[in-house]
Amino acid sequence: MCHDARAASSCPETLRSRRHHIGAGLLALALATTIAPALGSAADRDERRGPPPGERRGPGEHGPAQALRDFASQPYPSTYRPLPRRDTLIFGATVLDGTGRRLDGADVLLRDGLVVAVGAGLTAPDGTVRIDGKGRWVTPGIIDPHTHLGNFPTPYTGEDAHHSDVNEDSDPNTAQVWAQHSINVQDPGFARALAGGVTTLQVMPGSTNLFGGRTIVLRNVPARTVQGMTFPDAPFGLKMACGENVVHAYGDAGRFPVSRMGAVAGQREAWIAARKYLREWQRYADGDERRPPEQDLKLDTLAGVLTGAIRVHAHCYRADDIAQLFDMAHEFGFRITAIHHASEAYKVPDLFVKEDVCAAVWPDWWGYKREAYDGIRENAAYLEAAGACVAMHSDSNVTGQRLNVEAAKAAAAGRRAGIELPPERVIEWITRNPARMLGLESRIGTLEPGKLADVVLWSGDPFSVYSHVDQVYVDGALAFDRNDPTRQPTSDFELGQPSQETQP
Amino acid sequence: MSGRRRSLIAVVGAFALPLLGAGTSAAQTSPSFALVHAKLYTMDAVQPLEDATVVVRDGKVQAVGAGLAPPAGVRVIDVAGRTVTPGLMSAGTQLGLTEVGSLPDTRDYALAAGTLGAAFDVQYALNPNTTAVALAVGDGLTRALAHPEGSAVAPFMGQAALLRLAPGASPLERARVAMFVRVGSGAAAATGGSHGAPWILLRNALDEARRYKPGPGVSGPRDQLLGRLDAEALQPVVAGRMPLAIVADRESDLRQAIALHDDTKLPVLIYGGAEAWRVAPELASRRIPVVLDPTLNLPLAFDTMGARLDNAARLHRAGVPVAFSVSAFHRTYNAGNALRLGAGLAVANGLPWIEGLRAMTTAPATMFGLGDRYGKVRAGYEADLVVWDGDPLEPSSAALQVWVRGVEVALEDARHRDLARRYAPAALRGDVPPAYRH
State the pLDDT at residue A33: 31
B313 shares its domain with B408: no
The answer to whether position A111 is within a domain reads no
B405 shares its domain with B295: no
Q: Is the peptide bond before B148 cis (omega within 30 degrees of 0)?
A: no
Q: Which of residues 161-200 of B touch A (CB under 8 A)?
A: 185-186, 189
Length of chain B counted residue by residue: 438
Interchain contact B396–A (C-beta under 8 A):
yes
The reply to whether residue B305 touches residue A5, judged by beta carbons under 8 angstroms, is no
B123 shares its domain with B216: yes
The answer to whether position B374 is within a domain reads no
Q: Which of residues 291-310 of B touch A (CB under 8 A)?
A: 293, 295-302, 304-306
Provide the domain count of chain B: 2
For residues A155 and B305, is the Cβ–Cβ distance under 8 A? yes
Length of chain A counted residue by residue: 504
Name the residue of chain B whose CA is nearest to A189's CA: B298
Please choose, from the candidates A358, A366, A345, the residue with its C-alpha nearest in 3D space to the C-alpha of residue A429.
A358
Given a cut of 80, whether residue A5 has pLDDT beyond it is no
A-chain residues near B272 (CB < 8 A): 6
Of B272, B298, B333, the CB nearest to A368: B333
State the pLDDT at residue A3: 33
Q: Find the mean pLDDT for residues B219-224.
A: 72
**Alpha-carbon gap: B345 to the closest alpha carbon of chain A (Å):** 6
B-chain residues near A378 (CB < 8 A): 420, 423-424
B172 shares its domain with B156: yes
Range of the domain at A299: 5-87+148-444
Range of the domain at B294: 89-367
**Alpha-carbon gap: B296 to the closest alpha carbon of chain A (Å):** 7
The reply to whether residue B305 touches residue A500, judged by beta carbons under 8 angstroms, is yes
Cα distance between residue A53 and residue A30, in whole Å:
11
B66 shares its domain with B149: no
B-chain residues near A368 (CB < 8 A): 100-102, 329, 333
Cα distance between residue B4 and residue A142, in whole Å:
38
Indicate the Cα dihedral angle B126, B129, B135, B139, nearest 10°: 60
For residues A55 and A62, is the Cβ–Cβ distance under 8 A? no
Of A6, A377, A464, the CB nearest to B394: A464
Q: Is B366 left (phi over 0), alpha (psi -120 to 50) or beta?
A: alpha
Q: Which residues contact A351 (CB under 8 A, 6 or more apart)?
A: A322, A323, A326, A357
Q: Which of residues 265-294 of B touch A (CB under 8 A)?
A: 272, 275, 278, 293
Looking at per-residue pLDDT, the higher value among B63 and B22 belongs to B63
Q: Is A40 left (phi over 0), alpha (psi -120 to 50) or beta?
A: left
For residues A414 and A382, is the Cβ–Cβ distance under 8 A? yes
Count Cβ neighbours within 10 Å for each residue of A342-373 and write b for 16 or more, e otherwise.
bbbbbbbbebbeebebbbbbbbbbbbbbbbbb
Q: Is the peptide bond before A257 cis (omega within 30 degrees of 0)?
A: yes
B143 shares its domain with B107: yes
CATH code at position B346: 3.20.20.140
DSSP label at residue A411: H
The answer to whether position A419 is within a domain reads yes
Query: Would you place residue A52 in the very low, low, confident or very high pLDDT band (cuts 50, 70, 90)?
Result: very low
The answer to whether position B180 is within a domain reads yes
Q: DSSP letters of B5-22?
A: --TTSEEESTT-GGGTTT
The reply to whether residue B396 touches residue A412, judged by beta carbons under 8 angstroms, is yes
The answer to whether position B171 is within a domain reads yes
Q: Which residues contact A372 (CB under 8 A, 6 or more apart)?
A: A12, A317, A341, A343, A365, A366
State the pLDDT at residue A243: 86
Interchain contact B341–A (C-beta under 8 A):
yes
pTM of the full structure:
0.91
The answer to whether position A288 is within a domain reads yes
**Alpha-carbon gap: A430 to the closest alpha carbon of chain B (Å):** 16
The answer to whether position B119 is within a domain reads yes
CA dihedral over A35, A37, A39, A45, signed as positive or negative: positive
How many CB atoms are closer than 10 A to CB B411?
A: 23
Cα distance between residue B22 and residue B9, in whole Å:
15
The answer to whether position A451 is within a domain reads no
Given a cut of 60, whether residue A498 has pLDDT beyond it is yes
Of B250, B297, B420, the CB nearest to A417: B420
Count Cβ neighbours within 10 Å for each residue of A129-150 and write b for 16 or more, e otherwise.
eebebeebbbbbbbbbbbbbbb
Cα distance between residue A394 and residue A360, in whole Å:
9
Per residue in A418-465, pLDDT tens? 999 999 999 999 999 999 999 999 999 999 999 999 999 999 999 999
- The two beta strands, B33-40 and B49-57, are antiparallel
- The two beta strands, B33-40 and B83-86, are parallel
State the pLDDT at residue A462: 98
A-chain residues near B301 (CB < 8 A): 4-6, 154-157
Q: Find the mean pLDDT for residues B383-409.
A: 97
Given a cut of 80, whether residue A31 has pLDDT beyond it is no
**Alpha-carbon gap: B270 to the closest alpha carbon of chain A (Å):** 16
Which amino acid is present at A180?
A: Q
State the pLDDT at residue B429: 77
Per residue in A156-191, pLDDT tens? 998 888 889 999 999 999 999 999 999 999 999 999
Grouping H, G, I as helix, E, B as strand and the rest as coil, residue B89 is strand
Provide the domain count of chain A: 1
**Alpha-carbon gap: B55 to the closest alpha carbon of chain A (Å):** 29
The answer to whether position A462 is within a domain reads no
Cα distance between residue B300 and residue B61, in whole Å:
44
Of B103, B302, B348, the CB nearest to A155: B302
CATH code at position A396: 3.20.20.140
Cα distance between residue A385 and residue A504, in whole Å:
52
**Alpha-carbon gap: B333 to the closest alpha carbon of chain A (Å):** 6
Question: End-to-end distance of chain B based on CA atoms, in angstroms?
Answer: 7
Given a cut of 60, whether residue A10 has pLDDT beyond it is no
Percentage of the residues of chain B whose pLDDT score is greater than 90: 84
Which burial class, exposed, middle or buried, applies to B239 when counting CB atoms under 10 A from its CB (0-12, 13-18, 19+)?
exposed
Cα distance between residue A226 and residue A76, in whole Å:
9
Per residue in B315-349, pLDDT tens? 999 999 999 999 889 999 999 999 999 999 999 99
The answer to whether position B205 is within a domain reads yes
The reply to whether residue B434 touches residue A370, judged by beta carbons under 8 angstroms, is no
State the pLDDT at residue B218: 59
For residues B139 and B146, is the Cβ–Cβ distance under 8 A? no
B78 shares its domain with B104: no
Q: Which residues contact B149 (CB under 8 A, 6 or more apart)?
A: A3, B94, B109, B110, B157
Q: Which of residues 64-93 of B touch A (CB under 8 A)?
A: none
Looking at per-residue pLDDT, the higher value among B391 and A6 belongs to B391
B-chain residues near A2 (CB < 8 A): 328
The mean pLDDT of chain A is 90
Given a cut of 50, whether residue A4 has pLDDT beyond it is no
Cα distance between residue B122 and residue B233, in whole Å:
13
Interface test with B, best of A159, A248, A364, A469 (most B CBs within 10 A): A364
B51 shares its domain with B187: no
Of A5, A382, A417, the CB nearest to B300: A5
Interface test with A, best of B255, B275, B298 (most A CBs within 10 A): B298
- The two beta strands, B83-86 and B75-78, are unpaired
Percentage of the residues of chain B whose pLDDT score is greater than 70: 92
Per residue in A282-320, pLDDT tens? 999 999 999 999 999 999 999 999 999 999 999 999 999
For residues A145 and A220, is the Cβ–Cβ distance under 8 A? no
Query: Would you place residue A60 in the very low, low, confident or very high pLDDT band (cuts 50, 70, 90)?
Result: confident
The answer to whether position A210 is within a domain reads yes
B202 shares its domain with B350: yes
DSSP label at residue A154: S
The answer to whether position A370 is within a domain reads yes
Cα distance between residue A288 and residue B300, in whole Å:
55
- ipTM of this complex prediction, to 2 decimal places: 0.92
B-chain residues near A156 (CB < 8 A): 300-301
Given a cut of 80, whether residue A21 has pLDDT beyond it is no
Q: What DSSP element (H or E) covers A304?
A: helix A297-306
Cα distance between residue B212 and residue B228, in whole Å:
8
DSSP label at residue A426: H
Q: What DSSP element (H or E) covers A8?
A: helix A5-8
Of B100, B186, B327, the CB nearest to A9: B327
State the pLDDT at residue B129: 94
State the pLDDT at residue A140: 99
CATH code at position B29: 2.30.40.10
3-state helix, strand, coil in chain B (%, to 5): 30, 25, 50
Q: Which residues contact B190 (CB under 8 A, 6 or more apart)?
A: B154, B155
The reply to whether residue B329 touches residue A1, judged by beta carbons under 8 angstroms, is yes
For residues B236 and B242, is the Cβ–Cβ distance under 8 A? yes
